[in-house]
Structure formats: structure tokens, C-alpha cells
A and B are shown apart, each in its own frame.
Chain A
Amino acid sequence: GAVVSQHPSWVICKSGTSVKIECRSLDFQATTMFWYRQFPKQSLMLMATSNEGSKATYEQGVEKDKFLINHASLTLSTLTVTSAHPEDSSFYICSARTGGLNQPQHFGDGTRLSIL
């Protein structure tokens, strides 16, 4: 149980393109979803937190207009990297949690984004 599916797993695109990443909770309803960014051999850096039907809360230093997050339903959140540039290349991972704060977060398998 507690499966989180993330798509696509890998994307390469040209600079200036916008890229959408989907995150779905397959067998549970995710009241809260999280988006992380991970650099090689480093830990996860939280970008934003979103609750279904509400605006996302972004961490300090994360541009809201650059990283658009939509959490339209209890099973789907999307991250859109707008006008992507090479410095946006990274490994993006979503996470979902159901229930209260004591519950664990379950993670997708990540999206490797490469901007040429």
C-alpha cells in the first residue's frame, strides 16, 4: 500500500520550455503533498507543500512563478517548471501524506529533468 506514482521519470527539453511533472497517490488520498529537489549526493530540499484545494506554501528562496504547483484533487498534484533553464536541471521528487502529521510521507520515484 501507500504507492506514489510520479511521471515522467526522465525528461530532456530545450531551454525556455515549460515542463509539467505529475504526482499521483494510487491507493490512498493525499491530504498533503510535497515537492522536493535533490542534487547529486545531497539530501532532499523541500520546495513547497500543498494541501488539496489550497495554494501551495513555498519555502524561502523558491520562486512561485517559476515552479507552479497545483493540487487539484486528493490524488493528484502537478509541478510545472516554467521557462526552464539549465540551472533548473535536477532530480525532482514528490511526496504524499494522508492523515495527520504523525503519518509518514511516501515518495514517488522522482523525475530527472535535464534542460539543454
Chain B
Amino acid sequence: EDQVTQSPEALRLQEGESSSLNCSYTVSGLRGLFWYRQDPGKGPEFLFTLYSAGEEKEKERLKATLTKKESFLHITAPKPEDSATYLCAVRYTGANNLFFGTGTRLTVIP
């Protein structure tokens, strides 16, 4: 069964302490991998799309990378305002919808 697994479930970082979030997928025919940020009580906010292994995208303190079976969201020198749930979603060939992981809840402590 195709699935998307994110780890860790929760992560607490000190401000400035860099780390990475993982998204593993077991789908065939990857059409795209998407990262979103979700704040409490809000809808997901689009961050990045990655289409092929080796691709990288950056936005401020965030950098997303993709291999054939997983993606990493690297957070460099995080700030408290980076605290949120980060969701990974995958679309595979033939599917119209996204398959979401359960997310990583990131807390950055001042």
C-alpha cells in the first residue's frame, strides 16, 4: 500500500539549533512531492514542490531535498516563528489527489 511517513512526530529545538525533518514515501511513479506548513487552526501553506531525485529548493531558513525514496526539510538556525506542523504530501502517476503524511510538529524555543 502506498504511504507517506514523516519523522519525527514532534521536534523541539532551541532557537538557532539546525535540524532536519524526514518524509519517506513508498509510492511508485512519483509525480511530485510537496511540503506544506500548517499553523494551528489554519489551512496548510504551500512551501515547495520537488519532482525528481537530486532536486533542491530553498526559501529563507528552509531547504527541501529529494532522493528516490525520501525527502528532507532542513531548517537552518530556526526562529520561534518557524514553530508549526510541517506536512509532506506525495502525488503519484494516475492519481488526482495528494497523499499526506501525519506531519512533524516543530517547536522552536527562544
Contact = CB atoms under 8 A, between A and B. Distances in A.
Nearest to A105: B98
Contacts of B103: 43
Question: Considering residues B96, B97, B100, B103, which has the most beta carbons from chain A within 10 angstroms of its beta carbon?
Answer: B97
B34 interface: yes
Contacts of A57: 96
Interface in A85-112: 91, 93-95, 101-102, 104-110, 112
Given A34-B97, A43-B103, A49-B97, A101 B42 contact: no
Contact of B46 (A2, A6, A34, A49): A2
Interface residues of B, number: 23
Contacts, number: 56
A72 B34 CA distance: 28
Contact of A101 (B43, B45, B46, B91): B91
A32 B96 contact: yes
A46 interface: yes
Interface in B79-110: 87, 91, 95-98, 100-103, 105
Interface in A1-40: 2, 4, 6, 32, 34
Q: Which 9 A-B pairs have the closest CB atoms?
A: A107-B43, A43-B100, A43-B102, A107-B44, A109-B43, A93-B43, A110-B43, A104-B46, A44-B100
